[in-house]
Structure 1
Amino acid sequence: MWGLSYWVVPISSALVWLAMLITMLVVWSTEGFPHYSSMDPKQTIAYISDVGAQSLKPLFIAMSAVTVVSFDLAFILERWLRHTGRLAHNTSLWQKLLSWLSIIAAIAGAAGLILLSIFDTVRHPRMHNSFLVLFIAGYILSAIFVCWEYQRLGIHFREHSVLRYSFWIKLSFILIEVALAIAFGVCQNQDKFNAAAVLEWVIAFIFFFYVLSFFIDFMPVVRTKNHQSRETEMDVALENGNEDGAANGERYYRRGANGAPTNGYTYGNGMHPGYNGTTNGYVKPQETAAAPRNL
């Protein structure tokens, strides 16, 4: 259950963000696609910030804050789980540094989103645009540091396919978002506001999938918490006070109808240790002085 609870952090963060975007789109459309005061005269498609600066500003601030605070908590949990060994542990100081840099960049990005929602585009346009750059740059840098860390981890833990999948997902996010951010900036400078608005909405929805992808990073926590190998169970049983080793040892192999072991173990002469002779093709167990304990 604890492993599954870690999934809630990135999933809830992503769903809050998606709910906010859909709500803003629905409200703008149900109002008849109004032309807000913050929009250019030739602009017909509203930016997210244009909608968020109107009656939905309280919702814009609250849901933006919930999204990024819970998302940054996922970064911190991931660092703690690697430190405690619940996830593949960092093998070098450089990997730990990359992890901390990703957290710091994510916090900067979170601050950018919260501040741009407070300093709206109607009353504080220049500050709003500066915080927008901080938001986008912060999370792109955070993704770069995470990718770098996972690439180094993947070299040491090649058997952990989750690291490989997560790396490629985050790398795809970096490449797509950087390309879209550049296109957004070009459209802004060329006064192509409708195209820029569409790109802003696309960037926001892609950010939803990026946040959601972090639940993949917590999948190994569930496996390591709820599943143990048969060998691990045997080791734990033998280490925790098994005073009758011979009796408990019989738990881990079976016998046939004539007392023959059926676990497939063979030794130099084809017999299981502690047995001699055969009867009807089966290994006959040695007789011992003490009667075996009933299991």
Structure 2
Amino acid sequence: MWYISYWFWPVFSALVWAAMLITMLVVWATDGYPKYPSMEQTQTIAYISDIGAQGLKPFFITMSTITVVSFNVNFILERWLRHTGRLAPNTSVWQKIWSLASVIAAIAGGVGLILVTVFDTLHHPRKHRVFLGLFIGGYIVSAIFICWEYQRLGYYYRSESILRYSFWIKLFFIIVEVALAIAFGVAGNQKKYNVGAVLEWVIAFIFFFYVLSFLIDFMPAVRHKGRQSRATEMDVALAEGGDQMAAERGYFRGGAAAQEHGNGYTNGYMNGHANGDTNGHLNAHKPPAPAAVPPSRNF
């Protein structure tokens, strides 16, 4: 079934996103770094949206849509795997709420990305900026809720080191992307367009690593298909431990200890008791020996 290759989705969505960015850069460089109509007078480095508003617009829309759809599958699949126990299941209602909130925020961010490609910066500059904010903000909020959920999961599942690694990776993404997004906005307001263009490309490539980080989340499910819940694992461990102790002590299936204990106890008790009791009983009821006959006086 499709979910058996769940590790495929983060890798696929990340590679599609990276392929789109690299292709756009190559096309811009191959064309001789042209100055597009949507670029400002002092701007020499093209924004992603500047390149996407030209002849690559169909490619921009298609690749972004594929990225959004495949990436959102990660969130839905992660929710499903936790619900079925293939990943560490949630331990509270709040964790499920945070997980659902991360899915909703990711969908909102994905919608923002698609609309950014449709409403290009050349013909719809204002709408483009609004949807760009929705794209960046949606995925940042989604990452915040994921970190919140993973922090609580890591508290209850201390042996799951994957949760800690994923938490710190996503927290790093939040801090860096928020800082870059603020710097991107400041550069735009100060009309430092080349700085803003560089920051936009950096934000986009960091997003690639964020998407790819979901591969780590699915690693426990890849290793343990049919993962059991924590309670079940404890029950099995206790049961196995009890059987092992019983096997070692030999109380089941005629073990050596059982034979030693049973035979030793039975033989010792039966032989000792039977022999001692029998001999003692017989000796106690044995008739007394006849008195010695005095010698005859006829001799």
Q: Does 2:248 correspond to 1:265?
A: yes
**Once the two structures are superposed, what CA deviation does each residue of 1:203-255 show, in whole Å capped at 9, x if it has no partner?**
00000000000011111112221799xxx9xx7xx9xxxxxxxxxx9xx9xxx
Partner of 1:49: 49
The alpha-carbon deviation at position 275 of structure 1 amounts to: 3.7
The alpha-carbon deviation at position 267 of structure 1 amounts to: 7.0
Partner of 2:70: 70
Check whether the contact 2:113–2:131 (CA below 8 A) recurs between aligned residues: yes
The alpha-carbon deviation at position 273 of structure 1 amounts to: 2.9
Partner of 1:257: none
Distance 1:92 1:272 in 2: 48
Check whether the contact 2:10–2:74 (CA below 8 A) recurs between aligned residues: yes
SS in 2 for 1:40: coil
Check whether the contact 1:115–1:128 (CA below 8 A) recurs between aligned residues: yes
Partner of 1:178: 178
Pick from 260, 268, 271: which aligns with 1:276? 260
Check whether the contact 1:3–1:221 (CA below 8 A) recurs between aligned residues: no
Alignment CA distance shift 1:12-1:138 (3 Å)? same
Distance 1:144 1:185 in 2: 21
Distance 1:179 1:94 in 2: 28
Partner of 2:146: 146
The alpha-carbon deviation at position 4 of structure 1 amounts to: 6.0
Partner of 1:29: 29
Alignment CA distance shift 1:61-1:2 (3 Å)? closer
Check whether the contact 1:150–1:164 (CA below 8 A) recurs between aligned residues: yes
- Aligned pairs for 1:122-161 (under 5 A) are 122-161=122-161
Which segments of 5 or more consecutive residues in structure 1 lack a partner in the other structure?
A: 239-248, 253-263, 278-295
Partner of 1:110: 110
Partner of 2:100: 100
Distance 1:55 1:117 in 2: 12
Distance 1:42 1:185 in 2: 17
Alignment CA distance shift 1:47-1:122 (3 Å)? same
SS in 2 for 1:86: coil
User: Partner letter of residue 90 of structure 1?
Assistant: N
Partner of 1:280: none
Distance 1:150 1:60 in 2: 33
Higher share in helix: 2
User: Partner letter of residue 43 of structure 1?
Assistant: Q
User: Partner letter of residue 196 of structure 2?
Assistant: A
Q: Does 2:207 correspond to 1:207?
A: yes
Distance 2:176 2:87 in 1: 28
Normalised TM-score (structure 2):
0.77
The alpha-carbon deviation at position 28 of structure 1 amounts to: 0.1
Check whether the contact 1:13–1:71 (CA below 8 A) recurs between aligned residues: yes
SS in 2 for 1:139: helix
Q: Which runs of 4+ in 1 moved over 2 A?
A: 1-4, 264-268, 271-277
Distance 1:273 1:22 in 2: 71
Normalised TM-score (structure 1):
0.79
Distance 1:24 1:198 in 2: 14
User: Partner letter of residue 51 of structure 1?
Assistant: I
Distance 2:256 2:71 in 1: 57
Rg (Cα) greater in structure: 2
SS in 2 for 1:89: coil
SS in 1 for 2:69: helix
SS in 2 for 1:265: helix
SS in 2 for 1:273: helix
Distance 1:113 1:227 in 2: 35
The percentage of counterpart residues that share the same residue type is: 67
User: Partner letter of residue 153 of structure 1?
Assistant: L
Distance 2:90 2:131 in 1: 33
Which segments of 5 or more consecutive residues in structure 2 lack a partner in the other structure?
A: 262-299
RMSD of aligned alpha carbons: 2.6
